């Protein structure tokens, strides 16, 4: 099954280009490995500001740069991996139990997030040390 970081992957979505422009689409459970329960997006993020800085116990996400670009650093409590998102038809699948930091937003960036669950505050880790303790406890079992 591999580590959580190894399960993260960029997924290229189907594209239908024609003279009028491009069309891409996402079908939950087909193009991404979960059914979509919630969609939200970030935009007008000021220069130098970071977003994210949290982890999830159960929530899976698929994150896309609908416009512009930004980076995502994922952390499993031991290792880190950084991805740059800059194409509206290529997104990043993020399984549960990874800390995420979103940075380096371009001036026109729009970050869309597809989530496997509805909002549940109890699913969040907002303290990095608590996340690492929980992640390490899970590895020892």
Q: What are phi and psi of 100, to 5 degrees?
A: -130, 140
Structure tokens at 55: 């982890």
- Domains annotated for the chain, with CATH where assigned, are 4-140 (2.60.120.10)
Q: What is the pTM of this model?
A: 0.91
Q: Which residue numbers are catalytic?
A: 54
- Whether 60 has a pLDDT exceeding 60, the answer reads yes
DSSP string, 45-86: PPTT--EEEEEESS--EEEEEEES-EEEEEE-SS-EEEEEE-
pLDDT, tens digit, for every residue of 63-112?
Answer: 999 999 999 999 999 999 999 999 999 999 999 999 999 999 999 999 99
- Whether 140 has a pLDDT exceeding 80, the answer reads no
- Whether 2 has a pLDDT exceeding 60, the answer reads no
* Residue whose tokens read 């930004």: 70
């Amino acid at each position: 099954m591999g580590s959580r970081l190894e399960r993260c992957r960029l997924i290229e979505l189907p594209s239908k280009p024609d003279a009028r422009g491009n069309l891409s689409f996402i079908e939950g459970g087909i193009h991404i490995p979960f059914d979509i329960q919630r969609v939200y997006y970030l935009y007008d993020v000021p220069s130098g500001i970071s977003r994210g800085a949290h982890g999830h116990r159960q929530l899976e996400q698929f994150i896309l740069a609908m416009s512009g670009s930004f980076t995502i650093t994922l952390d499993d409590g031991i290792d880190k991996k950084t991805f740059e998102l800059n194409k509206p038809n290529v997104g990043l699948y993020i399984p549960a139990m990874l800390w995420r930091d979103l940075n380096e937003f371009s001036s026109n960036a729009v970050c869309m997030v597809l989530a496997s669950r509805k909002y549940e505050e109890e699913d969040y880790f907002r303290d990095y040390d608590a996340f690492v303790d929980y992640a390490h406890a899970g590895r020892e079992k």
